[in-house]
Structure 1
Amino acid sequence: MAGVKKILDFLEKFAVWGSIVSFTIMIFMGIMQVLFRYVFDSSLYFTEELARFMFVWAVFLASAVCSRRQIHAAIELFVSWMPKKLRKVVMIISSAFTIFFFALISVKGIEITIITWSQASPALEAPMGLIYLAIPVGGLLMLIFTIENLYTEIMNSSQPDTEGKVTEC
Structure 2
Amino acid sequence: MNFIKKAGLWIDSIFEKAALLSLVALIFVVTMQVMTRKLFNFVFFWSEEVTLLLLAWFAFMSIAIGFREYIHLGIDSFTNLFSKKFNKVWDKVIMLSTLAFGMYLVIQGWDFTVLMMDSTLPATKLPSSVTYLAMPITGMMISGYALLHLFNIQTTRHQGIEEEI
1:1-169 superposed matches below 5 A: 1-152=1-152
Shift of the alpha carbon at 1:11? 2.2
**Are the equivalent residues in 1 in contact too, given 2:120–2:128 (CA < 8 A)?**
yes
- Report % sequence identity: 25
Question: Offset of 1:33 from its aligned partner?
Answer: 0.8
Match of 1:39, SS state, is helix
Shift in CA distance, 80/5, structure 1 to aligned 2, threshold 3 Å: farther
Distance (whole Å) between structure 2 residues aligned to residue 89 and residue 24 of structure 1:
40
Unaligned runs of 5+ in 1: 154-169
Q: Normalising by structure 1, report the TM-score.
A: 0.85
Distance 2:135 2:81 in 1: 35
Structure index of larger Rg = 1
**Residue pair 2:98, 2:142 contacting (<8 A) in 1 also:** no
Residue 54 of structure 1 deviates from its aligned partner by 0.3
TM superposition shift of 1:81: 2.4
Structure 1 segments of 4 or more deviating over 3 A?
Answer: none
| Worse overlay, 8-17 or 84-93 | 8-17
Instruction: Point out the more displaced range, 97-106 or 112-121.
Output: 97-106
Structure 1 stretch 5-14 or stretch 37-46: which is displaced more?
5-14
- Does the CA-based 8 Å contact 1:12-1:68 persist in structure 2? no
Q: Deviations over 1:122-150 (max 9, x none)?
A: 11110011110000001110111111111
Secondary structure of the residue aligned to 1:121 is: coil
CA distance in 2, matches of 1:81, 1:93: 17
Q: CA deviation at 1:101?
A: 1.5
Structure 2 unaligned blocks of 5 or more? 154-165
Query: Are the aligned partners of 1:116 and 1:127 in contact in 2 as well (CA < 8 Å)?
Result: yes
Per-residue CA distance 1:76-134 (angstroms, 9 max, x = gap): 22222221111111111111112112101110000000010111001111001111000
RMSD: 1.3
CA distance in 2, matches of 1:123, 1:15: 27
Distance in 2 separating the partners of 1:46 and 1:129: 17
